[in-house]
Structure 1
């Protein structure tokens, strides 16, 4: 075989997977005689912020033998909840709700049927004391289907901060890899990004100042954090 007449292709693939606090990365460096040389980096970075909102989700429901009775009971509970939110001056912008749903359920065991209603209402709080007070009032008045979650009021700002951190880390890793490989980093040829929220994380630190002497401590006395994660995939040209 005449090697001088045979086209040669030189390719080098370097794959490194790194994981460290607040950031995870995967990179590949590709260099070929017949293709553009490039460095691909996929990376995620986190922005950790203190939760400053509580989202309280309440399900209004009723059950009866007839649609009229189920509707009547449902409207009574809906009216009570609306009055309660007005009593505590909850702003309309902090209230979100769905329309009532009604369905017929058949029980084959005793050959009977019931009419069920349901309606979802969510309320956003910044005052945890108010959240607990309303929750207790609902329990005392027959509400037994609700849940809550933590949120952050400036999540868009947190997303931007996480994105900047991810891009900065991507550039840092690109420089490290190209220097180690004996090449020179060029311009960005392609970048893809996404952002999303991650489940809140528990900071095991109690705010002692928030606990009065005559109040039993609860889980809301612990500070909560929200993790906002941004992911980028960046392709750099290699000179």
Structure 2
């Protein structure tokens, strides 16, 4: 199988094969913690770190691991990086770590991470594996942030509340309150709101893809008609 070009890897991770919107993987933490932007960013950065680190490690050991222990070895690699992310959050963002709770250790079972390790990193050189991990992680992080922002804004009427939990005291005044005396919509803060929000994002992406495909098909048809007209004119002149 031919390796993908860097441009294809970037496009796959951010849009065409986005782990949340296309592969629909890692939904358990995605739906559970995206009630606010700060929760989404915290989980997204931890997942990004694990994806990059595990992809690099798997790519480096891919020629030394036998087929019989391939998956257990990959899981151990992923668990090691999750432990590192967990310890870093305990040391520097302990309050946010407590809020995210079990969903940080559960990154080990995230299908998108093991899937990238097995499907891509184990078959490609380190630089492409790192790029793939970074793009898949950024694509997942982007969906987390958009969904978290949507739920926080509609559910609580704020944006970027409690960002000091992740970025320290300097972020204590980042909160935005666009609506005065906003009553809040409890539905969006609860799990059903996460399903609704993610469904809207998937529908929006599909609509954009459909529009782009229809536009390309129209352009191709126009080019075909134009080329046919030119051939007819040339044939007529020769006759």
TM superposition score category, shorter chain reference: under 0.3
TM-score, normalising length from structure 1?
Answer: 0.24
Q: Which of the pair is proportionally richer in helix? A: 2
Greater strand share, 1 or 2?
A: 1
Larger Rg over CA atoms: 1
